[in-house]
Amino acid sequence: MKRVSVVRVGLLVGVLGFAVWSLAGAQNLEVPAGFDISVFAEGLGGVRTLEVGPDGLLYAVRSRDGTIHRLDPAGNGGSEEIVDGLNRPYGLAFSDGWMYVGERHRIVRFRAPAYSTPEVVVPDLPTGGSHWTREIEFGSDGMLYVSVGSSCNICEERDPRRAAVTRYRPDGSDETIVAEGLRNSAGLAVHPATGTLWVSQNERDMLGDDLPVEEINILSDGTHFGWPYCHGQGETNPEYRDRAAYCRDTTPPALSIQAHSAPLGMAFYTGEQFPAEYRGDLFVALHGSWNRSERTGYKLIRVRVENDRPVSYEDFATGWLSGRRVTGRPVYPVVGPDGSLFLSDDEGGRIYRIRWTGPGE
């Protein structure tokens, strides 16, 4: 096992009603007044998906290295490598004593606590193209949901599992396509009250700075969200103008987000460490734009949820983008055992912790 040494540097100060973490002069991160953001762990280049295991420990996927690390949320940020040799792992989920991992070409699972020999659950996921993340989540029905992105910016796919979310039994049997027209959904989360599955959606490029919007979608069996024929509220893509009638019947987004923000990991806030008004809201990491004249994203947003629907969003943690200078790219939030929020940054190789430190309610 390899251990990563962690060094924390910085000064916590108050500026304009925000808590600001200054990391060796490299970045100034802002969170709402009453909150504190700090570096929990670093030296984890390419860290992406975070999950809390049934043992209460924090598990982190390093996609480029093909490894999974384990950290103690109550510890000093040191990590141990528990799995290596994976093919661009991304999705991570726990169920019935198993740890499931979404590799680029398959889904495997490891028996806890040894995590020694992988058992292949889904052997033949489609590969190729630029969207390699394979996000996974267990639904309220106990079934395994797998998201596979498109192979292209805009095209008709041959494999129906691309640009779709597919459902399996935990052993990989009974493959069923649940929802289609999802160009690249790299975040899945189960609503804590309704049990519905929510997904983030990276929409197409090359339609200008502000089209099409990114999306938060709520899935149900048989839904189609438009791609490649449509985007947004049923608007037809210029490559498929003959599909206008079809687009009128596709499912619109539950919430629209600024185009090219690249929403990835999502987590409903189910803890009690934050004030009560945050409970049940959704946190979404915006990885950041590349196809835009002015950069956007590179932050964590809070999606306000009312009557089990997303109604608006606002910045929650920012500062990784200054002008055109990028010092980090948020990927995946997760609620820790103590109710604090952990957030990965694959560009900076860090995991941050966000806590409420304001007055009691």
pLDDT of residue 25: 35
Q: CA-CA distance, 210 to 205, in Å (whole number)?
A: 10
Give dist(CA 295, CA 316) in Å, integer.
Answer: 18
Task: Identify whether 144 is part of a domain.
Answer: yes
Extract the residue ranges of the chain whose pLDDT is less than 70.
1-27, 360-361
Predicted local distance difference test score (pLDDT) of residue 73: 97
* Confidence (pLDDT) at 256: 98
Domain count, the chain: 1
The CATH number of whichever domain residue 210 belongs to comes to: 2.120.10.30
- Exposed, middle or buried, 129 (CB in 10 Å: 0-12/13-18/19+)? middle
Looking only at the bridges linking them, the beta strands covering 299-306 and 282-286 are antiparallel
Identify the sign of the CA torsion 236, 204, 159, 138: negative
Residue 22 confidence (pLDDT): 37
Q: Tell me, what's the pLDDT at 27? A: 60
The answer to whether position 318 is within a domain reads yes
Does 321 reside within a domain? yes
Q: Are 225 and 216 in contact (CB under 8 A)?
A: no
Report CA torsion sign: 342, 295, 210, 165.
negative
In eight-state DSSP terms, residue 246 is H
Question: So what's the pLDDT on residue 24?
Answer: 35
pTM higher than 0.75 for the full model?
A: yes
Please indicate, yes or no, if residue 361 is contained in any of the structural domains: no
Note whether residue 113 is domain-resident: yes
Q: Please report how many Cα atoms fall inside a 13 Å half-sphere around the Cα of residue 291, on the Cβ side.
A: 18
Query: Do residues 2 and 80 lie in contact, with contact meaning Cβ atoms separated by under 8 Å?
Result: yes
Q: Looking at residue 360, what is its pLDDT?
A: 55
Q: Could you tell me the two tokens for 279?
A: 């409970």
298 within some domain? yes
pLDDT at 74: 94
Record the tokens describing residue 204, joined without a space: 């197409």
40 occurs within a structural domain:
yes
Domain that holds residue 289: 3-356
Residue 160: inside a domain: yes
What is the structure's pLDDT at 59?
98
